[in-house]
Amino acid sequence: MVTAISVQQLSVSFQGRGSRGRVAALTDVSFELPRGQILGVLGPNGSGKTTLLRALAGLQAPTTGLVTVLGQPATAAALRRRVAFQPEGALPLGVLSAPELLAYFGAQLGLANDESDRRAAHWLRRLDLEHAGNRRAATFSTGMCKRLALAMALLAEPEVLLLDEPTSGLDPFGSEAVMTILRERAAAGTAIVLASHHLLEVEEICDRVLILQGGRRRALGSLAELLATDERAVVVRGADEAGVARLVEAAGALGLEVARTEGARRNLFALFRQLAQADEGSADA
């Protein structure tokens, strides 16, 4: 697999206030991310997630260590159209409407007007922002602002996408739409780094997870590697109550402890998907 991001012994520190000296935001963090994979970055507030994203975006110089993106230093000007960063915080130029803001960013990227307009219309539709019309972005709800920020990041059709809490403030349907788009981009070869506090979303969408604590890497790997235990589970379908009772009895005869029996259930995202698909089916009928 072709490496999109390489971080080697990255440390970032800032001058503290008063007599505190320097404060370490990241210390000796290393990892690599291939094209087409999604890396979830988890950690408590202050663990260094945003600093890491800013270093990957070329907005924060390392104190020590090396960050390369698509084979170049993260600060390289040539990466401007190949790497996109969706930070947290207020949108810039809130006096503009969503189409105007995307047109402005398209011009900053050097896109031809018709191509910029085509991409903008596509992402406004995919992120359910067409209805906003000519409303100023400053009047948008939190969820609308978050979706517009993602549209701005996607406008460049980047090879590397850096996202800071992209589903914060979104309702479940908005979160599901964002995750669908991210799966599509990864399938097309985009490398995605996703910092989030939403553990279920990370578990659903990410190929690998990096856990930061106190600015240090505490764990890195696939979910299968990080969550594996020595226990083994047997999943049985189609058993009625009597069948379950016989299975429990058989397990006991083998000297095994039955921790629990429970009915199979889907998660809430699966329920929301089903409801959304039913709504789409009704609209098409």
pLDDT score at 285: 58
Measured CA angle at 90 (ends 268, 132), to 5 deg = 70
Write down the pTM of the prediction.
0.84
Confidence of residue 115 (pLDDT cuts 50, 70, 90): very high
**How far, in Å, CA of 168 to CA of 212, rounded?**
19
**How far, in Å, CA of 32 to CA of 30, rounded?**
7
What residues have CB less than 8 Å from 162, skipping those under 6 apart?
53, 56, 57, 83, 84, 85, 86, 192, 193
pLDDT tens per residue across span 184-232: 999 999 999 999 988 888 999 999 999 999 999 999 999 889 888 887 7
**What is the homologous superfamily of the domain 3-227 according to CATH?**
P-loop containing nucleotide triphosphate hydrolases (3.40.50.300)
- Assign 265 to helix, strand or coil: coil
Where in the sequence of the chain do the CATH 3.40.50.300 domains occur?
3-227
pLDDT tens per residue across span 95-114: 999 999 999 999 999 999 99
Instruction: Provide the strand spans (E) within the chain.
Output: 3-15, 22-34, 38-42, 64-69, 72-73, 83-86, 160-164, 191-195, 208-213, 216-222
What residues have CB less than 8 Å from 181, skipping those under 6 apart?
126, 127, 150, 154
